[in-house]
Amino acid sequence: MQINLYEKNINKIDAFFELKIIQKSEKLSTKFIETLEKINFFKDSYNIHLDYESKILYISCLDFKSENIKMAIFKTINFLKNKKIETIKLNINQNGLELKIKDIVEGLMLGSYTFDRYKNSKNILNINEIKISIKSSSKSKEKLEDELNKTLLLTQGVNYTRDIVNTPPFEFVPKSFSQKALELTKNKNIKCKVFGEEYLLKNGMNAMFSVGKASVNESQLVHLSYKAKEAKAKIVIVGKGVTYDTGGLSLKRGDGMVSMKCDKAGASAILGIFDVLSKYNLPLEVHGIIGAVENMIGGDAYKPDDVLIAKNGKSIEVTNTDAEGRLVLADCLCYAQDEIKDIDYIFDLATLTGASIMAFGGYTHAIMGYNDKLKSKIQKASMKSGELVGFLPFNQFLEKKLKSEVADMINTSSNKNGGAITAALFLSKFIKEENKNKWLHFDLAGPSYRQEEWDCNPYGATGAGVRLVFRFMEKVSNS
């Protein structure tokens, strides 16, 4: 599907249909309003009316906010599936308001995504070109082209991440992360180092190693890096890449295990961000660390009661093998801080806890850390990206819940309350003092995968984190 900008009047552009996003307003003729009212068109947003005579496709949108425009485009593209319509045009000005190219492109690209590799009957989108008339835009063609190109690459990165997360666990194993990362090095700005279990053992990464021990698929530690010539900041992103989470010996219940292919969403977002960086240059140095493991059961599985020594020498009493993500991240965070000096920002992205879903309802990233200024920067990136964020506070009382009688800490608090916070506090034990204010933890267990369609997301993986972190990086690049 091509998206092209035309400096022509909309009437001079050839297409099967014109898309008009409309609100009830005095600009429309009363007769036309009456016709649409008969079919309850203006009762709510996203009702579609196709007028074959004038070749116009109308969609209702009661409020012209960015999120609603994206949704209107998303609904339109879904409506067009399986229809023999190949081209569609729209004016950048709708209802007297100038739309943002970013919103149009996000709606189109995120809305047209499907994961139908395993389906015999597929939905077909016959659209091959979307033509946007920019004749009446207040912005220059170059500026609009740049916005178009950037959003295209960003949304392709989101869809690339969605594909990885949606891929079933028999097909996507820890080594698949290494393969994907190595593919990204086709771009000469991107370098990649891959390590296996021997490296983990030699370098004291016993926490991460233990989680993957029972799997027939070898664990992988992946270190991607992107260096622009004149980097304004050094950003490290660490991702949980549990390609399948059975819970280990503290086995999950049958229905709780379904969808645990999503436990690689944090690491998949890291790959998505690097996919964008490989095509869209930002003046930054970015490191992506992926801890890829499969949490399985077996004769050599790690056990509740085991004591694991992490890379920084801290000992961990295992009380639940289903709290495996924090063990993987503990070692990956240590690796990142040992290998990379003078870090400006260090973020970890992980589907870490069901408790984060309980806290915010499932559509919001649960973000935690010590630096309020940094949190407000993320809040701004959230507005630009359209991804929702919420912040959970630390306190010393919850921290005490990690106390162990036999080791430096336990991996799960005996009390389930505040589970997202205790998980983040556990991670904080692996953040060096000098990096405490540079670190944020993103628990994306909720927004990265939903068994329902929501916002511009179809059923399944959403690619959460890619737009949010990219918009943050973009802001750092421009400041």
* Catalytically annotated residues: 252, 326
Number of C-beta neighbours around residue 320 at 10 A: 16
Side by side, the strands of the sheet bearing 307-309 are 307-309, 315-317, 409-410
364 binds ligand BES per the rule CB under 6 A: no
> For the window 285-304, what string marks contact with ligand BES as x by the rule CB under 6 A?
--------------------
The least distance separating ligand BES from the CB of residue 156, rounded to whole angstroms, comes to: 25
From candidates 72, 127, 148, 445, binder to ligand BES by CB under 6 A? 445
Indicate which single residue of 197, 245, 275, 331 sits in contact with Zn ion (rule: CB under 5 A).
245
- Site residues for ligand BES, 227-256, by CB under 6 A, read 245
Residue 412 binding: pick among ligand BES, Zn ion, none (C-beta 5-8 Å cut-off by kind): ligand BES
* Residues near 192 by beta carbon (within 8 Å), at least 6 away in sequence: 181, 182, 184, 185, 222, 223, 224, 225
| Bridge partners (DSSP) listed for residue 422 | none
Binds 356, which of Zn ion, ligand BES, none (CB < 5 to 8 A, cut-off by type)? none
Q: Within 10 Å of residue 136's Cβ, how many Cβ atoms?
A: 11
Per CB under 6 A, contacts with ligand BES among 313-352 are 320, 322-325, 351-352
Residue 262 binds ligand BES (CB under 6 A): yes
The answer to whether residue 159 forms part of the interface with ligand BES (CB under 6 A) is: no
Q: b/e string for 28-39 if b means 16 or more Cβ within 10 A? A: beeeebeebeee
Distance of alpha carbon 12 from the chain centroid: 39
∠ Cα 74 48 71 (to 5°): 25
Interface with Zn ion includes 263 (CB under 5 A)? yes
Token readout for 318 is 């295992």
Q: For residues 320 and 371, which CB has a smaller minimum distance to ligand BES in the complex?
A: 320
Strand residue runs (E) in 99-219: 129-133, 190-195
Which residue, 21 or 211, is less far from ligand BES as judged by CB?
Answer: 211
Exactly one of 103, 106, 322, 474 binds Zn ion (CB under 5 A); that residue is 322
Find, among 221, 157, 152, 147, the residue nearest to 184 by Cα. Answer: 157
Residues that bind ligand BES (CB under 6 A): 245, 262-263, 320, 322-325, 351-355, 412, 419, 445
Residues that bind Zn ion (CB under 5 A): 242, 245, 263, 322, 324-325
